[in-house]
Amino acid sequence: MFTTYIIYSQALRKYYTGYTSQSAEERLTYHNKKHQGFTSRAKDWVVVYSQSFPTRAEALLQERRIKKRGAVRFLDR
């Protein structure tokens, strides 16, 4: 199983979209701990959306759909 997720940081007022072979909660731990990159700038990330898919290709396709539309617009639908 693969999961597409959106996380939000109140401190940054930013969304981050990604996909993983872990659960969204397991991946969230990674983003809030010793992660380097965009999400390392804050430690208050919370999961605001997650959806599981049977294949990596489906999860990646959903991630691309969200990024193309924008996380805020996707969540408002």
Domain ranges for the chain, please list them. 2-76
User: Which one is predicted more confidently, 33 or 2?
Assistant: 2
Beta strands in the chain, from DSSP E residues, in sequence order:
2-9, 14-20, 45-53
State percent of the chain over pLDDT 70. Answer: 100
pTM of structure: 0.91
Query: pLDDT value at position 8?
Result: 97
Six-digit token pair at 22?
């872990």
Rounded Cα distance between 73 and 24, Å, is 20
Residue pointed to by tokens 């401190």: 11
User: Does the domain at residues 2-76 carry the CATH identifier 3.40.1440?
Assistant: yes
Query: pLDDT value at position 48?
Result: 97
Contact 16, 7 (CB under 8 A): yes
Across the range 24-51, mean pLDDT stands at 89
